[in-house]
Chain A
Amino acid sequence: MQSLLSFERAPPLWAPLRFLLTAPLFLAGAGVLMLFAGEEVFTSRWMPASLAFTHLLTIGFMLMTMLGALIQILPVVAGANLPSSRFWLVCLHGALCLGTLLLVAAFLGAAEAFPWAASLLAGAVGLFIVAAGVALWPVPVTSPTIAGIKLSLFGIAGVAGLGVSLALAIWRGWTWPLMELTDLHAGWGLAAWAGVLLAAVSYVVVPMFQLTPAYRARFSWWLPPLLVFLALIESVALWGGWSMLAKMAEWCMAGGGAAFALVTLNLQRQRRRARWDAPSRLWQGGLMAALLAFVLLPLSALMPDWVDGSVMAILFGVVLGLGGFVSLIVGMLYRIVPFLLWLDLQQRGVLSHVGKLLADRPMGVQMKMHAASVALCMMATFWPESFSRLAGLSLLVNGIWLERNLLLAVRRYRQTLSNSA
């Protein structure tokens, strides 16, 4: 029986690694943009540099990592295999990289790049939805994770559809309600895609890697469909011109996100792993940042005189995006990359330990850099002239250090492999 311990369903090592090792470069790229654009990133969320920065983070870093992680974990959490042929993965990865860069160029002034960026990104997302849809279609919904991952495909279709429509509307100068559509695009992206997927994957990876109790079944089943339902309500409300209903849907989404963060923090409190390592700390910090963002959202609407609405919108984006999602994703990268390198060594019959591939110390150093980046970006929302370039520099170093740490694990993997030969 032990010979079966081959994890034969795991895809080839390079398939997810291609995505997971590219993502930190886009984080560093966001730092470079902030370094050069300076306060423009924080002046208004509608400024070209701000939009370019947002998409470097959300597509270049977040989407890139999420797709890479899904390629790796779909066989484990859902028993579904994505195609692992080099051709389609190279196409997907290439379209995602090039599409992101072209979109950034388009926002920064090269408007003729909008249709190219939209085509490439729509192609990449469409390709992924078809491949994942075909793989997941025959899989029965026997767990909240499978239900959530299936729903997240609907979510990403919504985000991409709205994003492509917005890109074409800007390019062709259509008189669409761009601000409302952008809010909807962000709502679908954060709740119906990223939020749903994060929750669905967390149901498996939080207990597995952090040795916590499980999420209660009823909560796990309800959260993903609730988030997608609220995104649909927001869409209908904006379509019908019922702005109050749309706002309430947004607040309910924030409530769902806050419930997830509180439940996960409570599970972390009961963890059986004695030592708090960097990935666990990143998760803890990310969940607390997300909670703060979900408090800021209704607060800014209820007390409009407290802080300027434009500043609050940027602060919400920084705290939820960089402080919340990016922290959680970095924590997950530190679990997934060494684990799949270790898995590959196991498959080759080479004994090793996950902790030897990537030690806690370099992860801890990068975690502190990331915390500094989040703090500086938050300060830059209030005092852009004083802090925006410093925040950009810290984000650049943060992204490079993350890449360095992941490559360190790859180097140790290669050393272990060559030593065993």
Chain B
Amino acid sequence: MNTEDVHQLIDARYLEPPEPFVQTMDALDSLPDGRRLQLLLFREPHPLFKALRQNGYIYESRLTDDGTFEILIWKNAVAAVV
């Protein structure tokens, strides 16, 4: 997982729902093109994943040894051009 282009990190591991969803959506509004948002959570946020897909975002999720899901989100360049 390439974390070099991370523009902002949201550590939502100890936040109650729907706070991780709200903070992520707010952060995506100001995410520059070509940069990534990194989200840390103790679960896979499937409702968020669906919202991202519907809005032309791409994500990658990885489960680490301590049970944290590291999620990288970025704008789909093709969708942005279209």
Residues of A within 8 A of B (CB): 1-2, 4-5, 7-9, 75-79, 142-146, 203-204, 207-209, 211, 213-218, 220, 272, 346
Interface centre among B21, B44, B46 (most CB of A within 10 A): B46
B46 touches A9 (CB 8 A): yes
- Return the chain A residue nearest B28 by Cβ: A1
A2 touches B22 (CB 8 A): yes
CB distance from A328 to the nearest CB of B (A): 19
A213 touches B46 (CB 8 A): no
Contact with A along B60-79 (1 / 0, CB 8 A): 01011111110000000000
B22 touches A214 (CB 8 A): no
A76 touches B47 (CB 8 A): yes
* Number of chain B residues close to chain A: CB under 8 A: 29
Q: Which residues of B are found within 8 Å of A220, using beta-carbon distances?
A: 67
Q: Which residues of A are found within 8 Å of B61, using beta-carbon distances?
A: 142
Question: Would A2 and B63 be within 8 Å (CB), given that A76-B47, A77-B43 are in contact?
Answer: no
The 7 A-B pairs with the shortest beta carbon distances in the complex, nearest first, are: A214-B67, A79-B46, A1-B25, A214-B42, A207-B42, A4-B51, A204-B43
- Return the chain A residue nearest B26 by Cβ: A1
A143 touches B50 (CB 8 A): no
B63 touches A217 (CB 8 A): yes
A sample of 19 more A-B contacts (CB under 8 A), given A4-B54, A4-B55, A209-B16, is A1-B25, A1-B29, A2-B22, A4-B51, A5-B21, A5-B22, A9-B50, A75-B47, A77-B44, A78-B46, A79-B46, A144-B63, A145-B43, A145-B44, A208-B17, A211-B14, A216-B66, A217-B65, A346-B18
Name 19 interchain pairs, CB-CB below 8 A, sorted by A. Answer: A2-B22, A2-B25, A4-B25, A5-B18, A5-B25, A7-B47, A79-B44, A143-B43, A144-B63, A203-B67, A207-B42, A208-B42, A209-B16, A211-B14, A213-B67, A214-B42, A216-B66, A217-B67, A218-B65
A2 to B22, CA, bound (A): 7
Q: Which residues of B are found within 8 Å of A5, using beta-carbon distances?
A: 18, 21-22, 25
Main secondary structure of the interface of A (DSSP, over half): helix
B25 touches A272 (CB 8 A): no
Question: How many residue pairs between the two chains, A and B, have CB atoms under 8 Å in the bound complex?
Answer: 82
Q: Which residues of B are found within 8 Å of A204, using beta-carbon distances?
A: 42-43
A78 to B21, CA, bound (A): 16
A142 to B54, CA, bound (A): 20
Question: Would A214 and B68 be within 8 Å (CB), given that A2-B22, A5-B22, A204-B43 are in contact?
Answer: yes
A213 to B43, CA, bound (A): 11
B16 touches A211 (CB 8 A): yes
- Return the chain A residue nearest B68 by Cβ: A214
A142 to B60, CA, bound (A): 11
Q: Which residues of A are found within 8 Å of B68, using beta-carbon distances?
A: 214
Interface centre among A8, A78, A142, A209 (most CB of B within 10 A): A142
- Return the chain B residue nearest A7 by Cβ: B47
Q: Which residues of A are found within 8 Å of B55, using beta-carbon distances?
A: 1, 4
Which of A7, A79, A216 is in CB contact (< 8 Å) with B65? Answer: A216
CB distance from A313 to the nearest CB of B (A): 36
Q: Which residues of B are found within 8 Å of A145, using beta-carbon distances?
A: 43-44
Which of B25, B43, B50, B64 is in CB contact (< 8 Å) with A207? Answer: B43
Q: Which residues of A are found within 8 Å of B22, using beta-carbon distances?
A: 2, 5
Q: Which residues of B are found within 8 Å of A2, using beta-carbon distances?
A: 22, 25-26
Question: Would A215 and B28 be within 8 Å (CB), given that A2-B22, A77-B43, A79-B50 are in contact?
Answer: no
B46 touches A217 (CB 8 A): no
Q: Which residues of B are found within 8 Å of A142, using beta-carbon distances?
A: 44, 61, 63
